[in-house]
Amino acid sequence: MGLLSSVASGGGAVVKSMGTAAALYACSAAILLIAVVFALLAGFFALVPHVGEVGAALIVAGALVVVAVILALIAMALMRRAKQRAAAFASVAPVAAFAAPLAMKTAKRAPALLVLALLAGGFLIARRR
């Protein structure tokens, strides 16, 4: 009973610690957002004497659009890469699920054959990429 209670309380401490860390990340993100707003306002007020209020607003908005487009392009590239990796894993997963029990039996009888099969499978997977 003592072991189970210590494991349970340790798990609770880990969850509490992770919750505190998540709350601190959220606070830092909110503070960063406020800092970005003030930086944009400072840029706006610095541009007003040179290009007027409307021009300054358009320049700041244009800069934000450029940043948003760059972030969207980066996100699209990351999503494409993640989908390719998921497709590669999905194509290998059924074979691995079928081969795992067979590999366990083969490992007992002929370990060299298992190593050779794993090398061949790795070679085929590497060639697909």
Token output for 81:
């890469």
- Position 129 scores a pLDDT of 57
The predicted pLDDT at position 16 comes to 83
125: closest CA among 100, 89, 94? Answer: 89
Alpha-carbon distance of 36 to 28, in angstroms, equals: 12
Mean pLDDT by 10 residues, the chain (129 residues): 49 79 92 94 94 94 94 92 79 69 70 74 71
> Structure pTM?
0.54
User: CA–CA separation, 113 vs 31, rounded Å?
Assistant: 59
- Residue 121's contacts (CB-CB under 8 Å, 6 or more residues apart) are 95
Domains of the chain, residue spans: 2-128
* Nearest-angstrom CA–CA distance, 89 and 74: 23
CA distances from 25 to 29, 31, 34, 75, 97 (A): 6, 10, 14, 21, 39
